A and B are shown apart, each in its own frame.
Chain A
Amino acid sequence: MSNMGAKTLLSHSFRIAWKDLTELFRNRLGLVLLILMPLFMMVMVGFIYPSNGTVNNLQVGLVNEDSGFNNITLPSQSFIMGLQQINNQTHMLIITNVSSVADIRDMVQKGDLEGGIIIPSNFSTSIMTGQQGTLIIVSDESNPQISATIQGVLKTVFDEMGTAIAQQKVQALNVTNTLAVVKPFNVQTQGIVSGNPTYFDFIAPGIMAMTVMMSVMTGLPVAISQEKEIGTMDGMMVAPINRLSIILGKTLGQTARGLIQGIIILILAVGLFGVAIQGSILLVFALLLLGVFSFVGLGIVITSFTKDQETAQMLMMTLMFPMMFLSGVFFPIQQMPWYMQDISKILPLTYASDALRRVMVLGAGIPAISTDLIVLIVFGAVMIAIAVPVFRRMMTR
């Protein structure tokens, strides 16, 4: 293409992008939704997802069946006292006294309780006769996640109480550091950057990458099929312009829209949810643009195959959901079964959100994310190479 042609192509593209953005900014409801969508996404995903160790107010029933050892029930009573003491500090549980094991089952079935603790009849006897005291945790199998959480919480509580009791016993042996004897290993976790990242730090980069890339992938087919439907596309098509400037202009417009949303998410993440950006903010934007680039071709291909807005939107929903959940935006890829992990490896969003997360959370520079960069560039280039001829053919039907 000659220099002159390229200049005209670009100038026409800018006119089209300008037109699209003017329309966007004059659509008040559209603008409000543009801001609300990422806000809802952050709030919903950020607050609903259980962050580590912050479980509160689980409804737990307590059955004390301890029959005592020679009428002494000291071990079970001190256990209950200890449990309440720890819970008063952490507020993990709401403990209700229940008279029998059958009642616990009833209440779990009704949904009044999420689990239960049973102190068996031989509890005091076992402890007083120098044996292990057994405690039983009842869990609600209809809700595996809560069930696992209760088990974890109660095990932690029991563990702490067991440690306390062991420490008391060891003290009799005249040891200076009782904890070192009872629990010789102490584990500490340290991140590679300072601060204490939350789940928001994990999802904010992913949601940013997703919003910006989706805006191109979904916005492009919708914007073009809409113009085809209302007839304005004909107005552009009868002008002596290169067909590419239509798609380029539309892409520019959608990219701008996506970036605006991305910036809103960033502001919300930093201002409202306390997300800290460790890496370069310029690199963050460069990555968002690269994400757009990698998705443009895919968006154009989809555009070429959809005839009307309705189809475009339905196709988008079908593609968006697997992308959202398989690209590690909300859930770590490592949690998925191997075949899902394989699928996620062919999705460009996986690489974009991974790179963005490394930069934002870990403060990575370009060398550290080079694999992601290469994948995104290659994917984008290949898709565009496929898309351009497909689009040209579509436009001159």
Chain B
Amino acid sequence: MANASIIEVKNLTKMFNKFTAVDDISFDVKKGEIFGLLGPNGAGKSTILRMLSTLARPTKGTATIGGYDIVKDDTEVRTLIGIVSEKMIMYNRLTAKENLWFFGSLFNIPKDVLTKRIDELLELVQLTQWKNAQVGTFSTGMRQRMNVVRALLNMPQVLFLDEPTLGLDPQSSVEIREFIKKLNRENGATVVITTHMMVDADLLCDRIAIIDHGKIEALDTSANLKKIISGADTTIIKLSIPNLSSVLIENLQALKCADAVTQENSTELKILVHGDEAFDNIIDAIRANGGKISSMENLQPTLEDVFLHITGHQVRDSADQKTPNAHRHFGEAPRRVR
């Protein structure tokens, strides 16, 4: 059973009027795996998650979870899954315990089992001493932990996490990441996580699907994805140019050997280059434009570079280009990434 698929997605498509949010995607998630959907806001990853968690109906295509069809057997699917949404699913005027009790009672869990489980879960996220306080008084970190344990009430085999570290301080993000790993390790739960945070994807996920404009552009382990760059005689160079100008950047972008040029700050550039004479070409171009190179280094590829290499734009770029329609349909607040 080690490599059996628990989620099978076939030609899943979701259209909002004429806008195709999810475009004919297929993939499998193995049992016990942490699977990441990486992409900018509006790429369609939340919509994929909503369809898999029975909250939205696919326009075309299908998916099964644990062998159950997400449309026809939605009730069975719901008993198997837990969802942690970007929006906090809890009632501010109810206490931590009351919130868990309410959501737990909707799962037909016997009273004594539920009582015990709520205590265990609150202990797990160190909220026991706050169990009788209204969650409206909680800090963001505490609320996010509540949000996660709520999804665990039914001991789900598949846990869906939609941007679980969004808006969290670095320390809370680490806590949540550790917690997700622990759940996966100890309970054997399969985790499907959407994120636009490269760190999340890199540190957490066994396999990552890179999503852009509703399509899967690449799907592999983090290490293999990075090999796309190092294997394809592509190199990332970081240049420090004190007298950096926009004309220079444009000229560099025009070079054949440069796949992508991104400006890191007022003096630094990151360039994805390929070919044997790439370095020479780049240096020549900078010189020709009167640029001075104060330092130059060769970088290890990151997931961000992979994303750039595959889609031709940065994660944060496309977040700004997000269509107004997408905001409405995904229910995501129009906020800048990072």
For chain B residues 28-85, which have a beta carbon within 8 Å of chain A?
A: 53-57, 74-76, 78-79, 81-83, 85
Which A residues lie within 8 Å of B269 (CB)? Answer: none
B50 to chain A, nearest CB (A): 8
Which A residues lie within 8 Å of B75 (CB)? Answer: 240
If A12-B106, A235-B103, A238-B83 touch, does A23 touch B88 (CB 8 Å cutoff)?
Answer: no
Centre residue among A8, A11, A235 by max chain B CB count within 10 A: A235
Q: For chain B, give the interface size range.
A: 20 to 34
A24-58 Cβ-contact flags toward B at 8 Å (1 or 0): 00110000000000000000000000000000000
B254 to chain A, nearest CB (A): 46
B85-97 Cβ-contact flags toward A at 8 Å (1 or 0): 1111111011000
Q: Cβ of A26 and Cβ of B87 under 8 Å apart?
A: no
Which B residues lie within 8 Å of A237 (CB)? Answer: 54-55
| Nearest B residue to A231, CB-CB | B87
Q: Cβ of B108 and Cβ of A238 under 8 Å apart?
A: no
Q: Cβ of A240 and Cβ of B87 under 8 Å apart?
A: no
- B138 adjacent to chain A (CB < 8 Å): no
Q: Cβ of B106 and Cβ of A239 under 8 Å apart?
A: yes
B64 to chain A, nearest CB (A): 16
B324 to chain A, nearest CB (A): 16
If A22-B93, A240-B78 touch, does A234 touch B87 (CB 8 Å cutoff)?
Answer: yes
Which A residues lie within 8 Å of B86 (CB)? Answer: 231
- B134 adjacent to chain A (CB < 8 Å): yes
Q: Cβ of B108 and Cβ of A240 under 8 Å apart?
A: yes
Q: Cβ of B55 and Cβ of A240 under 8 Å apart?
A: no
Which B residues lie within 8 Å of A240 (CB)? Answer: 75-76, 78-79, 106-108
- B98 adjacent to chain A (CB < 8 Å): yes
Taking a contact as CB atoms closer than 8 A, the residue among A15, A232, A397 that contacts B89 in the complex is A232
- A172 adjacent to chain B (CB < 8 Å): no
- B102 adjacent to chain A (CB < 8 Å): yes
Q: Cβ of B85 and Cβ of A23 under 8 Å apart?
A: no
B98 to chain A, nearest CB (A): 7
Q: Cβ of B150 and Cβ of A235 under 8 Å apart?
A: yes
If A15-B105, A19-B102, A238-B55 touch, does A232 touch B91 (CB 8 Å cutoff)?
Answer: yes
Q: Cβ of B57 and Cβ of A396 under 8 Å apart?
A: yes
- A241 adjacent to chain B (CB < 8 Å): yes
> Considering the chains assembled together, what is the distance between the CA atoms of A215 and B89 in angstroms?
25
Q: Cβ of B108 and Cβ of A8 under 8 Å apart?
A: yes
A-B Cβ contacts below 8 A, count: 69
Which B residues lie within 8 Å of A8 (CB)? Answer: 108
Q: Cβ of B89 and Cβ of A234 under 8 Å apart?
A: yes
- A192 adjacent to chain B (CB < 8 Å): no
Decide if the interface of chain A is mainly helix, strand, loop or mixed. helix
| Nearest A residue to B90, CB-CB | A232
A19 to chain B, nearest CB (A): 5
Which A residues lie within 8 Å of B107 (CB)? Answer: 239-240
Which B residues lie within 8 Å of A22 (CB)? Answer: 93-94, 98
Q: Cβ of A234 and Cβ of B134 under 8 Å apart?
A: no
B306 to chain A, nearest CB (A): 31
Which A residues lie within 8 Å of B94 (CB)? Answer: 19, 22-23, 26
> Considering the chains assembled together, what is the distance between the CA atoms of A234 and B86 in angstroms?
11
- A102 adjacent to chain B (CB < 8 Å): no
Q: Cβ of A234 and Cβ of B83 under 8 Å apart?
A: yes
A235-262 Cβ-contact flags toward B at 8 Å (1 or 0): 1111111000000000000000000000
- A136 adjacent to chain B (CB < 8 Å): no
B73 to chain A, nearest CB (A): 11
Q: Cβ of B91 and Cβ of A239 under 8 Å apart?
A: no
| Nearest A residue to B78, CB-CB | A240
Q: Cβ of A231 and Cβ of B88 under 8 Å apart?
A: yes
> Considering the chains assembled together, what is the distance between the CA atoms of A12 and B56 in angstroms?
22
Q: Cβ of B81 and Cβ of A238 under 8 Å apart?
A: yes
Q: Cβ of B91 and Cβ of A234 under 8 Å apart?
A: no
- A282 adjacent to chain B (CB < 8 Å): no
Taking a contact as CB atoms closer than 8 A, the residue among B57, B87, B88, B154 that contacts A397 in the complex is B57
- A230 adjacent to chain B (CB < 8 Å): yes
> Considering the chains assembled together, what is the distance between the CA atoms of A12 and B54 in angstroms?
19
If A26-B134, A397-B56 touch, does A236 touch B93 (CB 8 Å cutoff)?
Answer: no
Which A residues lie within 8 Å of B85 (CB)? Answer: 231, 234
Which A residues lie within 8 Å of B93 (CB)? Answer: 22-23, 26-27
Which B residues lie within 8 Å of A23 (CB)? Answer: 91, 93-94
Which B residues lie within 8 Å of A238 (CB)? Answer: 53-55, 78, 81-83
| Nearest B residue to A14, CB-CB | B105
Centre residue among A15, A22, A236, A237 by max chain B CB count within 10 A: A237
Which A residues lie within 8 Å of B103 (CB)? Answer: 235-236, 239
A20 to chain B, nearest CB (A): 9
Given pairs A23-B93, A231-B89, 18 additional interface contacts (CB within 8 A): A12-B106, A19-B98, A22-B93, A26-B94, A26-B134, A230-B87, A231-B86, A231-B87, A232-B89, A232-B91, A234-B55, A234-B83, A235-B89, A238-B55, A239-B154, A240-B106, A241-B106, A397-B57
Residues of A bordering B, CB below 8 Å: 8, 11-12, 15, 19, 22-23, 26-27, 230-232, 234-241, 396-397
Residues of B bordering A, CB below 8 Å: 53-57, 74-76, 78-79, 81-83, 85-91, 93-94, 98, 102-103, 105-108, 134, 150, 154, 331
Which 4 pairs between the two chains have the least Cβ-Cβ distance? A231-B87, A239-B106, A235-B89, A240-B78
